[in-house]
Amino acid sequence: MAETEYTNKVNGILANGYACLGISMGTRLGLFEGLSKLAQSKETAVSTQTLADSMKFKERYIREWINGMALAGILSHEEIDGEDRYWTEPHTLPTLLGDDTTWIAQSAELLTGVAEKQVAVEKCFPADGPRGTNVDEYPVLHEFLLRRSVMWKSPGIIHKVFEDEVLLSKLEKGISVVEVGCGAAIPTKTLATRYPQCKLLATDICADNLERAKTTCQGLENVELRVMDACNASSDLNEKFDLAMMFDVYHDVPYPDKLIAGIHRILKPGGMLLMNDIGAHESITANKEENAAMFGMYYTISSLYCMPTSYKYPDGAGIGACGGMELYERKLKDVFTDVRKVAKDIGLFFLCTK
């Protein structure tokens, strides 16, 4: 690649990065939705003042933001009768607004969330610097992750993920279930509502998350909440559960081997663990061949959040977002008698039997 071509490539990446921040603002503030309600064609295009008035925002801020989005090709613009006007094209709305299962534009908020601690992470690089950052110091990121879990509100997702017929029949009859690292506990709520005959325990090491889970599960008599480190669960939980669930947690924990051993201990003989994580590979070469842009994004996000928040602990693993499905499968097979992948069409899910 020639120098000029490389320079143009980097300039393009930088421009897209700034556009990503604009997309993040657009989703967080509801600007895309606000514009879509007013104008979905050139004929209905509106001025920045009209958009500002409709949303009760300052016009000057709207103007600066929307011009960036227009020049990035995210929104449409044309000067009409001497006035700049803007609109959203109908075909852009699924991407910009999303739904319960599609969060494309909203994913830009990940950049806003992890960038909160960039300076703190930079201080971790020197050999004599801190080992990592505190997980509770990313409020914007956690807000996004909790909202993203809305996809679990759909009862239909249960049958997509829990495709094992034996497990589904057990759920129908009623079993004991624990969710590890529950966050807002939306999977717990979904299962508890769909299968009221089941008893569920939602756990998280973070008390703030349990407060959110309390709101989520309000009124559900078959749900219990508990602040708990699954690595060191109390002995009264030994062999108590038929099913453990863990979604997008494993790569973030400092002591993953202890976590899997702890979950294994609280499962009954024949009990199952359903574990979801990012479908990256252990090898950067494999990730590059499969989807360099996507996994490159994950590595960068991980360097700012996933890795430093687990590496900060003494002997913390610091697996990171791209720890790799091969690593996860090996670790699970070290503990469980049967490990297989399920729901392959919607992500990386392991169903493990004790």
* Residue pLDDT, tens place only, 8-60: 999 999 999 999 999 999 999 999 999 999 999 999 999 999 999 999 999 99
SS3 label, residue 242:
strand
How far apart (Å, rounded) are the C-alpha atoms in residues 101 and 96?
13
| Measured CA distances, 124 to 115, 118, 119, 131 (Å) | 15, 10, 9, 6
pLDDT for res 142? 86
Q: Which two tokens stand for residue 159?
A: 């049958």
Question: Interior CA angle at 89 toward 86 and 94, to 5°?
Answer: 125
Instruction: Report the length, in residues, of the chain.
Output: 354
Contact 244, 301 (CB under 8 A): no
Among all chains, which residue has been given the structure tokens 């699954």?
230
Which uninterrupted H or E stretch holds 350? Answer: strand 348-353
Cα separation of 263 and 251, whole Å?
Answer: 15
The conformational region for residue 219 under phi > 0 = left, psi -120 to 50 = alpha, else beta, is left
What does the pLDDT read at residue 154?
Answer: 67
Query: How far apart are alpha carbons 210 and 182 in whole angstroms?
Result: 8
Residue with tokens 């739904």: 99
Q: Is 2 strand, coil or helix?
A: coil
Give the single-character DSSP code of 240.
Answer: -
Q: Provide the pLDDT for residue 136.
A: 85
The segments of the chain whose pLDDT lies below 50 read none
E strand residue ranges, 196-337:
199-204, 223-227, 241-247, 267-277
Q: What is the side-by-side order of every strand in the sheet holding 267-277?
A: 223-227, 199-204, 176-180, 241-247, 267-277, 348-353, 338-342
User: Are residues 313 and 243 in contact, defined by beta-carbon separation less than 8 angstroms?
Assistant: no
* CA gap 71, 118 in Å, rounded: 27
Consecutive H or E run containing 70? helix 59-71
Q: Are 124 and 133 a contacting pair, CB within 8 Å?
A: yes
Is 295:322 a contact under the CB 8 Å cutoff? yes
Q: Are 138 and 114 in contact (CB under 8 A)?
A: yes
CA angle 44, 57, 40 (to 5 degrees): 20
Dist. CA 130–CA 1, nearest whole Å = 38
Query: What are phi and psi for residue 243, nearest 5 degrees?
Result: -145, 135
